Every structure is written in structure tokens, then in C-alpha cells.
Amino acid sequence: MIAFATLLERLTLTPGRLAKLALLEKFFATVPDPDRGWGLAALTGELSFTAAKPALIRGLAEQRTDPTLFRWSYDFVGDLAETVSLIWPAGAVSAEPPSLAEVVHTLRTQPKTALPAILAGWLDASGPDVRYALLKLMTGSLRVGASARLAKTALANFAAQSGAGMHGASISADDVEEVWHGLTPPYEPLFAWLEARGPRPDAAGAPVFRPPMLAHPIEAADLAALDPASYAAEWKWDGIRVQLVAGPGGRRVYSRGADDISAAFPDIVEALDFYAVLDGELVVARDGAIAPFADLQQRLNRKSPSAKMQADFPAAVRLYDILFEGPLDVRAEPFAARRARLEAWFAHHAPARMDLSPLIAFGTVAELETLRDGARAASIEGLMLKRLDSPYLAGRPRGYWWKWKRDPLTIDAVLMYAQRGHGKRSSFYSDYTFGLWRADGELVPVGKAYSGYTDEELGRLDRWIRNNTVGRFGPVREVARGLVLEVAFDAAQRSGRHKSGVALRFPRVSRLRWDKPAAEADRLETLLATLP
Amino acid sequence: MPHPDTWLCVRPEGLYCQPGDFFIDPIRPVPRAVITHAHSDHARPGHGNVLATPETVALMRTRMGEALGGASAEALAPGESLAVKDVSVRLVPAGHVLGSAQVVMEHAGSRAVVSGDYKRAADPTCAPFEPVRCDVFVTEATFGLPVFTHPPAYREVEKLLESVRLFADRTHVVGAYSLGKAQRVVALLRAAGWDAPIYLHGAHMPLCATYEALGVALGDLRHATVAGAKNLVGQIVLAPPSAIADRWARRLTDPVVALASGWMRVRQRAKAGGIELPLVISDHADWPELLQTIDDVGAPEIWVTHGNEEALMYAATQRGYRARALRLVGYDDSEETAGTAAAQEDAVPEAAV
């Protein structure tokens, strides 16, 4: 538990990806089974308890401390678990803190009534860091800023360092991904495989996630070399990529990042009455028309959407590939064969809440370009080009799939506020709120951009902001209205939540207009006029 | 026997001792000042005459220049008594930083002690706090809440060294206030066996030199600014809290940003400050030390100043002491504050580094 608590604290505070990987690898290498597996489960969200309610914890703390001092302390610290972990009187107990395995076993087997006494005993035996980890684990509110994908990458690195790598075999994060959803904590067979002590865990039948095939953005040179006869084209839809897994082993909706989002989409899960693994775009659709991305956002990150929510924002999947038909793995087949298989399968099953992403007929690249430029529907981001002979390969292999986004829209906006970034950018003002002029002469914020500039431009922006600060609000600086940013964005939508009445999709800085006076930046009306 | 109530009071300039006609750590220029320690919010320039320990006088000269902002200085060695008009004054070690002292005042048979800032934990760079029995004890309360229990400082330094081993290809930059904290961290590193050169921000250099001149050995110290980023990989760099997450730190290679401060006990403080490695090392008494000290000095009456007065008064009352708040303004805990707070960030002008 001590190693886990230390890991937790450092992961929470460490911004860098490589540093997080190093911390995780060290944990896997130094903590024995089964505790490392339980730790992994806790970090990836596979293990969470709601055994201890905040009221129980608060009650325990008030028994051990002065209630007035406790209240002042809680006011100061602001987080219950942290307050209790810090204020808990150092015990006269010489016991060791519990192991993670002991915590898990106890919480699973002991009746709720026994919990307060058990928890008090654990807190007595622990220091502040372990108390904090315990309380966060038991209240199901462990947030560490380490994604499941990061943990799997760390597992692959760990394998390379410790076991499989030394025997010449290599295990990638994708390999871990393929077995992951068939495993349960504390993952002892997984660690045995990674350390070359055991076979690859067999996920047969389980509704596991398969790493998706991703596309490269197409460059001018790729486009010039493209042979239209060997490619299929589809629209690139503005939803989120999902993998539908259904069969005797269960039904799952996975995001592109391997998160199991089934619970948020019970309407989709209900429609998975087949045996296949499919690739497609999750959208909100009404009468076959795709709704703006903002509608889909209403459905994301909800643990269990209400019936009303499901009716108001009906989810659908636009299918574009098939990975398994029944138990048959068809990923090695060429795209053209899989597409034919998908069409035949779809015609036969006609699953609810799904349709096929149509192929677009074209003869030349010039024709495609005309199509791409003509597509102005908000639901279309651009085109996908897929080589007809491409197998379905994990990751982002070169030369098979291309994405060709349509040119972004741009506005000339005025920089209003700047905030410092995180990690490597923590000393730079790198997050920019920009605004447009309203008819009454007021500048109103329309969005925030965090990217799009070069390192050199960032340095120049940072200096300009420091020299032109007119107000400070905590970490935010208000600047003089003197710098115009050309902001690129994929789409604009009306929004009642923003003062400006408009929300931009993926805004980023495309150019710094040092030359342009702020008064000549764009008007809000001009932007609003382009919206439906 | 006149109660200290009748001869010790708060004036706009600071805490005033009437029969001795002097102020303790005044925030405005006064004719005669007794200074507990050399931190800038306690030792300000412009007084007529300054009475302090020899170490504090030396550190003040380093900070303000030989002229001490115009004051004449009188050094009083710890333990010696000096009659200042109708008051007998003694300076007794407070354990906060080198030279830090409590002011012990006796007048007409009653005794009051002003703690200044203090701590009870061991510190290799300064003399330990000595409790003095008294009628009124004026105590600080920077960490006056029961959530503040500082862990042993050597354990925090072990944490730092473990991180240096794990991230050998990065530079560890530790935010530490330039007077006291920086030297203590260096001394703790030396005690933990870190014999490599320790690299310092320019602002730390003169005060470290004064510490060495006063007999505190700190080992091989070098200028971080002239060392070059490559030579700092795998090394430890100390800088003022205001510099660690700002432009100055850009010269370092993929730095692990640490901060040595009692406030690092609270995670949210570390997170908000962008601190990757919080080190809970404080030069102020933690909650158990505050209570311990109140018991040790045996004063029936406790006056509480700067910090969380309310909670400490409450706890003192529960232990059977009379307690009241002494509203002294102008002292901050700048030596403990995280460096990225907006108000602080430009405190170190680039010209000074």
C-alpha cells in the first residue's frame, strides 16, 4: 500500500508522459503480485469501491479529533479525504499498513457494519499518504491523470525491460490491449506473460477490444502520387470512433482509446443483437441526419443516461468496417473484401440504430477535391481515402488510409486573456482566450485556443503578453486589445451557454497577425451570419 | 507587578515595548528596533538603531548592504542580557533560521517572550529553540491547524534523492527561500550523503557565503546560471520559489520541479503551483510543535500572531491557557509560498539572475 500511495501522489502531480511511464514501470518492477495487479486495476478504473460514504469517514474523523478544529481544517484543505488523511492522529499502533490485496479482500468479504472499525484500524496503522490513497480508493474517487492506454504502454515497456524482451519476443501496448478486456484483476497471468514466465492469456470468446486502424493526414505529395483506381473514398463524419463488440461473450461499445463506454449508450448496446466486431462512427442522429457534435457531447461521459436523454439525443452508429464476422477474424482480408462482407452482413441483419457509411464514387483526385470543398454540412469533417487492398492493421501504418480534412474556416480575433500552460509549457502563457467585436463596440470572448503556433511564436507571444498585461485574475492575465490572432476552426455552432452565442469546434491559432490593428478584427455578426 | 498587557502593545509600526521604547520587527522605520531574524518581512531597512544577534546583523548586511538602510547595529549574543531603559532584553535561539531569536523581556518582575518565527525540529544550520518560562508568550501560528504535521525533513530529502535516481536524465530544481530554507536543504542533502556540487540560483549565493563565513559548512556550491544546461542533467539545482516555474527555469533540461515548503503538505497547493515533487520541509513550527511549545513555556497567557490565530487560540483555551489574538499586520509567509502564484511570479527580475 505504501508503494501504491507513493505512486499515486507522483502520478497526480507529474505532467510528463515519459515520467509517468517511468513511475508505472518502476511500480510494476518492484511491487510483487498480487498487489501490483490490484494497483493496476485501481489506476485503470477496473477497481473501485463505494464502500465508504463521505459521512462515514467524516464521522470517524470527528470521533478522533475536535469537531471545531476538524471543521476549520476541512474549510482550509477543501477535500474530505485529504483533510482526514492529514488530521488523523498518529496512532500508537505499531501495525503495518494493509496491503492492497488485504484491502480488496476485506472490502469484498466484510459486512458494511464492520467497516468503520476496520477503516479506523487501517488509518491508525498508516501515514498520511497511505491514508489518503485508502480513503480515495474506498470512496471510489481515485483520479490520477493516467489513462488506461498509458498503463498498457507502461506494461509493454515493463515487459521489454524485465521478461519477454530479454527472450527476444516483443510485446507491444496493442498486444496488451488485445488481451486486456478478457482479464480480471489482479492480472497474475498477464504479469506472468510479460515476465516470460507464462503463456499469452487467452481471450477467446471474451468481448475484448481490438486496437483500431488509424489514418494519416494526407500531404500534397501523397495526393499527387495517389492512384484513384486503388482507393475507396468515404465521408469523414464528425462523431467519435467506436468499436462494437457483440457475441456470446457479451456486448460492448468501446471508444477509440479502449474505454468501455457501454454504460453511457444502453440504446446502442440493446441494438447489438448479433455476433460480430464492427468499426464505425458514433453520432447523434435524428431521421437519418447527423446532429451537431454538441448533441453527442450531451451523451458522452454519462454513467447512465435518463430515458429522456436517450430520446432527446438518440445515438446511432454509422458503420464502415468489419473486423470479425461471428468468430471469424477477417482483419487480414483486403478492404474491398471486408467492405463487401460488411454490406452483405448489414443487408442480412439490418441492425437497429445503424447504417452504412456510403462509398463515394469518383474518377480523379480533382473530382474528390471538388467534393471535399463542396461539403459544408457540419457533420462532415472531410474525406477518408482507403486503399482497396489494405488489411485491417493495428495502429497507424503508412500508405493505407488517409484522412483529408476540408480546409478549416478562419476568423481574425483579438487576444483578450492568456493563461499559463502545463508541464513543459508551465512557464509560458500558452492558452489564449480570443474575442470578436460586437456591433455595440464590445469585445466578447468566442473561444480558447491552446495550439497551432511554433515554439518561436510561443516565445514571442509570451513576451508580448507579459509586456501588455492590464489585469490579473489568479493565473490569468488580461491583455491590452492589441494583438490579432487568425484562428482556424472546423465548425461553428450556435450555443446558449456562451455569451457570444456561438461555440467553435477545435479552434487553434493559425497565424499571428502582428500587422493587423485590433479594431480591424472580425465582427461577431459576420460569424453568426454563416450559421444555419 | 505590572502585567505585560500594560507595557507591551500593538502600534501601527508594530509590537511596541513601552518601558524600553523599542519595537520588535517593526514594519515601518522606527528609532529603535529589535529584530528577531533576517527575513525581509521582519528585518526592514530604515531604522535608527537595530538590536539583533550577531548572525542576524551579518545576514542583514548581506541583504541590505553594509549600511543596513541607514541603521546603526548593535549585536547581542544569545543568552546575554542588555538593559534597554527599564527593560532587560535577552535574545534566545528560536530555531527558525541562522541567527533567529526569541526576544525575552523582563520589566518590574514580569516576563514576556516574543517567539518571532520558530520551529522545534532539528536543523543543522541553526541553534535549536530553547523554551523560556514566562508570564506572556507571543507565538506565531503560520501552520496553526491540526492538518499540519511536518514529516521528518530527512525523509523528504530521501524522497528527493530517490527521484534524482529514477529520473537521472532530468534536472531537479528545488524551490527554496533564499535565506534559511536553501541552506537547510543543502545541509540536509550533505547529511544524506549527496557530495556532488549543488547548483544555485544567483539570489542564493551571497547568503550561502554568509552562512559559510558564520561557520555553517555547505560543501561545493556552484552558480547554476553559468554551469550550462548539459552539466545540470542528473544534478540538483536550488532556486527561489518565484523562479522555479518561470522563465529562469527554462534553461534547465526537462526539469522536475520541486518545492520545499510546509504548505506542500496540502496536495492542492502543490498541484495548483505546478509542483511535481512536493517536499514538506518547513522552518515554522507545525501544529504539534506549537502545542508542545505552549506547554513548555508554561505561560498562563498566550498571544497569537500571524497565521491561523483562531484555531491555535481555541486549542490553547482548551488546554487551560488564556489566549488572545495580536493583530500584527505586514508579516507574510513568503518563504513558504509556492512560486507560481501570480502575485509572486515576477518577484525576481531577470537582471538579478
Q: What is the pLDDT of residues A311-331, one digit of tens each?
A: 999 999 999 999 999 999 999
User: Is the CB of residue B14 less than 8 Å from the CB of residue B2?
Assistant: no
Q: How far apart are CA B62 and CA A476, in angstroms?
A: 35
Examine the domain organization and report whether A432 and A401 are in the same domain.
Answer: no
| Burial class of residue B314 (count of CB atoms within 10 Å of its CB; 0-12, 13-18, 19+) | middle
Examine the domain organization and report whether A324 and A387 are in the same domain.
Answer: yes
Name the one residue in this structure whose C-alpha cell is 520558530: B118
Q: How far apart are CA B102 and CA A84, in angstroms?
A: 34
Examine the domain organization and report whether A227 and A366 are in the same domain.
Answer: yes
Q: Give percent of chain A above pLDDT 90.
A: 63
Examine the domain organization and report whether A361 and A441 are in the same domain.
Answer: no
At residue A97, the 3 state secondary structure works out as coil
Using one digit for the tens of pLDDT, what is the confidence trace for A212-245? 999 999 988 899 899 999 999 999 998 999 999 9
* All cell numbers assigned to B261: 515548503
Which among B146, B149, B245 has the least Cβ separation from residue A426? B245
Q: How far apart are CA B191 and CA B123, in angstroms?
A: 11
| Burial class of residue A103 (count of CB atoms within 10 Å of its CB; 0-12, 13-18, 19+) | buried
Here the CATH number for the domain that contains residue A483 is 2.40.50.140
Higher-pLDDT residue of B342, A310: A310
Contact (CB<8Å) A69/B314: yes
Polymer length of chain B = 353
Q: Give the ipTM.
A: 0.91
Q: Which residues pair with A371 in a beta bridge?
A: none
Q: Which residues pair with A400 in a beta bridge?
A: none
Number of C-beta neighbours around residue B304 at 10 A: 27
Q: What is the pLDDT of residue A437?
A: 94
φ, ψ of residue A317 in degrees (nearest 5): -125, 130
Amino acid at A137: L
Rounded alpha-carbon distances, angstroms, from residue B240 to A462, B66, B99, B283? 22, 23, 20, 15
Per-residue pLDDT, averaged over B220-226, amounts to 94
* All cell numbers assigned to B178: 533564499
Residue of B147, B250, B279 to mutate when probing chain A, most A C-beta within 10 A: B147
Residues of A acting as catalytic residues: 236
CA B49 to chain centre: 22
Q: How far apart are CA B326 and CA A36, in angstroms?
A: 52
At residue A501, the 3 state secondary structure works out as coil
Is residue B335 pLDDT above 60, yes or no?
Answer: no
At residue A243, the 3 state secondary structure works out as strand
Residue B191 sits at the vertex; the CA angle it makes with B185 and B196, to the nearest 5 degrees, is: 75
At residue B249, the 3 state secondary structure works out as helix
CA A476 to chain centre: 26
Strands A276-286 and A289-290: antiparallel
A72 secondary structure, DSSP code:
H
**A88-92, A400-404, B176-180, range with the lowest pLDDT:** A88-92
Using one digit for the tens of pLDDT, what is the confidence trace for B320-329? 999 999 877 6
Q: Which distant-in-sequence residues (6+ apart) come within 8 Å of A198 by Cβ?
A: A189, A192
Residues of chain B with CATH 3.60.15.10: 4-147+283-331
Q: What is the pLDDT of residue B269?
A: 87
Examine the domain organization and report whether A413 and A373 are in the same domain.
Answer: no
What is the helix (H) or strand (E) element at residue A2, kind and residue range? helix A2-13
What is the helix (H) or strand (E) element at residue A67, kind and residue range? helix A67-77
Contact (CB<8Å) B267/A472: no
A-B C-beta contacts closer than 8 Å: 91
Residues of chain B with CATH 3.40.50.12650: 153-281
Per-residue pLDDT, averaged over A292-318, amounts to 89
Using one digit for the tens of pLDDT, what is the confidence trace for B4-16? 999 999 999 999 9
Q: What is the pLDDT of residue B133?
A: 97
At residue B349, the 3 state secondary structure works out as coil
Examine the domain organization and report whether A359 and A508 are in the same domain.
Answer: no
Q: What is the pLDDT of residue A318?
A: 97
Q: What is the pLDDT of residue B334?
A: 47
**A155-164, A428-437, B79-88, B290-299, range with the lowest pLDDT:** A155-164
Q: What is the pLDDT of residue A93?
A: 66
Greatest mean pLDDT range, A140-144, B232-236, B264-268: B232-236
* All cell numbers assigned to A467: 509586456
Report CA dihedral (A345, A346, A352, A353) to the nearest 10 degrees. 130
Using one digit for the tens of pLDDT, what is the confidence trace for A330-358? 999 999 999 999 999 999 999 999 999 99
Per-residue pLDDT, averaged over B191-211, amounts to 96
Which among A65, A82, A475 has the least Cβ separation from residue B267? A82
Closest C-alpha among A379, A358, A271, A347 to residue A315: A271
Name the one residue in this structure whose C-alpha cell is 529562469: B248
Q: What is the pLDDT of residue B337?
A: 44
Here the CATH number for the domain that contains residue A294 is 3.30.470.30
Confidence class for position A302, pLDDT limits 50, 70, 90: confident
Q: How many domains does chain A have?
A: 2
User: Is the CB of residue A220 less than 8 Å from the CB of residue A365?
Assistant: no
Contacts of B256 in chain A (CB under 8 A): 19
Examine the domain organization and report whether A233 and A298 are in the same domain.
Answer: yes
| CA-based torsion, A227, A233, A239, A243: positive or negative | negative
Task: Judge: domain B4-147+283-331, CATH 3.60.15.10.
Answer: yes
Q: How far apart are CA A362 and CA A231, in angstroms?
A: 10
Q: How far apart are CA A450 and CA A432, in angstroms?
A: 6
Q: Give percent of chain A above pLDDT 70.
A: 97
Using one digit for the tens of pLDDT, what is the confidence trace for A411-448? 999 999 999 887 777 788 999 999 999 988 899 999 99
User: Is the CB of residue A383 less than 8 Å from the CB of residue A368?
Assistant: yes
Rounded alpha-carbon distances, angstroms, from residue A147 to A9, A18, A143, B324? 15, 13, 10, 51
Examine the domain organization and report whether A380 and A467 are in the same domain.
Answer: no
Q: What is the pLDDT of residue A166?
A: 57
User: Is the CB of residue A126 less than 8 Å from the CB of residue A99?
Assistant: no
At which of A405, A434, A451 does a domain end? A405
| CA-based torsion, A17, A19, A22, A28: positive or negative | negative
* All cell numbers assigned to A96: 503495518
B342 Cα to chain A: minimum distance (Å): 6
Residue of B143, B246, B256, B267 to mutate when probing chain A, most A C-beta within 10 A: B267
Q: Which residues pair with B110 in a beta bridge?
A: B107
Examine the domain organization and report whether A414 and A488 are in the same domain.
Answer: yes
Examine the domain organization and report whether A229 and A351 are in the same domain.
Answer: yes
Search chain A and give the residue with CA nearest B242: A427
Q: What is the pLDDT of residue B118?
A: 97
Give the up-direction half-sphere exposure of residue B261: CA atoms within 13 A in the CB hemisphere. Answer: 30
Confidence class for position B332, pLDDT limits 50, 70, 90: low
Q: How far apart are CA B37 and CA A66, in angstroms?
A: 34
Q: What is the pLDDT of residue A301?
A: 75
Contacts of B274 in chain A (CB under 8 A): 15, 422, 426
At residue A230, the 3 state secondary structure works out as helix
CA B272 to chain centre: 23
Range of the domain at A462: 409-529
Q: What is the pLDDT of residue B312?
A: 95
User: Is the CB of residue B138 less than 8 Å from the CB of residue B113?
Assistant: yes
Closest C-alpha among B264, B286, B262 to residue B275: B264
Q: What value does the mean pLDDT of chain A take?
A: 90
Residue of A71, A72, A462 to mutate when probing chain B, most B C-beta within 10 A: A72
Q: Hey, what CATH class is B153-281 in? A: alpha beta
Report CA dihedral (A213, A219, A225, A231) to the nearest 10 degrees. 40
Q: How far apart are CA A419 and CA A425, in angstroms?
A: 11
Q: Which residues pair with B81 in a beta bridge?
A: B90
At which of A405, A424, A442 does a domain end? A405
Examine the domain organization and report whether A432 and A392 are in the same domain.
Answer: no
Contact (CB<8Å) B340/A424: no
Examine the domain organization and report whether A381 and A422 are in the same domain.
Answer: no
Confidence class for position A168, pLDDT limits 50, 70, 90: low
Contacts of B275 in chain A (CB under 8 A): 13
Is the full-model pTM beyond 0.95? no
At which of A373, A405, A437 does a domain end? A405
User: Is the CB of residue A409 less than 8 Å from the CB of residue A392?
Assistant: no
Evaluate whether residue A102 is within a structural domain.
no
What is the helix (H) or strand (E) element at residue A297, kind and residue range? helix A293-299
User: Is the CB of residue B296 less than 8 Å from the CB of residue B139?
Assistant: no
Q: What is the pLDDT of residue A479?
A: 93
**A64-78, A357-371, A458-472, B66-80, range with the lowest pLDDT:** B66-80
